[in-house]
Amino acid sequence: MFKRTIFALILCVSFCLLINPAWAYNDWIMETDNHDATFSGAWGTSTARILYYGDDYRWALCSGSTGTVSATATFIARTSVDVSGNYSVFARWVVDPNRSTGARYDIYKDNGDVTPIATNVVKNQEVNGGEWRLLGTYAFTSGNQPKVILKNNCVSEADGANVIADAVRWVKESVNQYTIVDEPGIEYVSGSSKDVSTISSNCASLTNLASISVTAPASGFVHVQASGIYNSGTSYRWVRVGIDNASGGSTFDGMAPYIEGWTSASFEGELRFSLNKAYSVSAGANTFYLKACIEAGATGALIWDDFTATFYSTHY
């Protein structure tokens, strides 16, 4: 029994190390794809060149003069700024010899602003395609909804000239491990505990320990994770803990091995669990549950440190 428990713990720790990469605290990101942008003037849609972001990209002919704008693509951040500070603004395009060498972007602090904070930021779209290219770093204030407008006020060129609207990204600079960013799409439940005597001993009728809801702004994936400790008060009585997208019932989507506790003078009756599960979701609200059942006669407490759900777009 002891060997079986130790093996389960080793398996759990190994699995958790494989699927829990370190978080980059300076990579809080807001993104807007061309499908979420608004367009004025004549724009085409294409997938003719590779390395576009999402499903396709948009193109418009240059007006022929830097003083004339006849087509615009407006990218507005899909969420407002939570933490005031400097944000680096990036854009993507797809290269080809007929791209403009002078595509011009205007950067706005807020969607409601008439005057940009940076005008005619010029990029050569014949090169550096298929990756995020820096437009500049600017100060934004909590509550702002940043905006970028790509214009077609570029000159005609011998091999043709189009501006490409693919995607825009805003990245918070200098976010450290102590900064909490409450972004739509990332939800968490604070740690808590439950006396196992109140948990069902019938695994066909599981007890909900906690629930969490996350609103997905578009189709994508939600990564749900939980971790905690079974503080056993009775030797050789197991507890099962799992994650699921349905309340109660008899199913777990992501389940820990049987956690079997013991008590003696040599060992503390505490065993840690860690759970991870990814769900494919559509736009809208999604609810997930941390659930458990116990072996009859088990005593002690289940303590979970955290329970989180994080949305990720299907765009890469």
Widest CA span of the chain, in angstroms? 85
> Under a CB-based contact definition with an 8 Å cutoff, are residues 69 and 151 in contact?
yes
Torsion of CA 116, 122, 128, 130, to 10 degrees: 40
Q: Which CATH number fits domain 29-172: 3.90.230.10, 3.30.465.10, 2.60.120.260, 3.40.50.300?
A: 2.60.120.260
pLDDT band at residue 184 under the 50/70/90 scheme: very low
pLDDT value of position 74: 97
Identical fold between 2-24+181-313 and 29-172: yes
Cα gap 276→224, rounded to integer Å:
6
pLDDT at 148 exceeding the cut of 90: yes
Cα gap 250→252, rounded to integer Å:
7
pLDDT at 154 exceeding the cut of 80: yes
Distances (CA, A) of 107 to 80, 255, 276: 15, 47, 39
Average pLDDT over residues 161-169: 94
Contacts for 114 with CB less than 8 Å, ≥ 6 apart: none
Torsion of CA 64, 146, 47, 66, to 10 degrees: 10
pLDDT value of position 188: 62
Q: DSSP string spanning 143-187?
A: T---EEEEE------TT--EEEE-EEEEEESS--TT-----TTEE
pLDDT tens column, 133-147 = 889 889 999 999 999
**Which range is least confidently modeled, 28-37, 189-198, 199-208, 244-253?**
189-198
Cα gap 133→206, rounded to integer Å:
50
**Which range is least confidently modeled, 43-57, 169-183, 245-259?**
169-183
Cα gap 289→192, rounded to integer Å:
14
Distinct helix (H) and strand (E) counts, the chain:
1, 21
pLDDT tens column, 15-29 = 333 333 322 223 367
CATH code of the domain made up of 2-24+181-313: 2.60.120.760
How large a percentage of the chain has pLDDT more than 70? 78
> Under a CB-based contact definition with an 8 Å cutoff, are residues 129 and 50 in contact?
no
pLDDT tens column, 224-251 = 888 888 888 777 778 888 888 999 888 8
pLDDT band at residue 77 under the 50/70/90 scheme: very high
How do the domains of the chain map onto residue ranges? 2-24+181-313, 29-172
Residue type, 204: A
75 or 311: which leads in pLDDT: 75
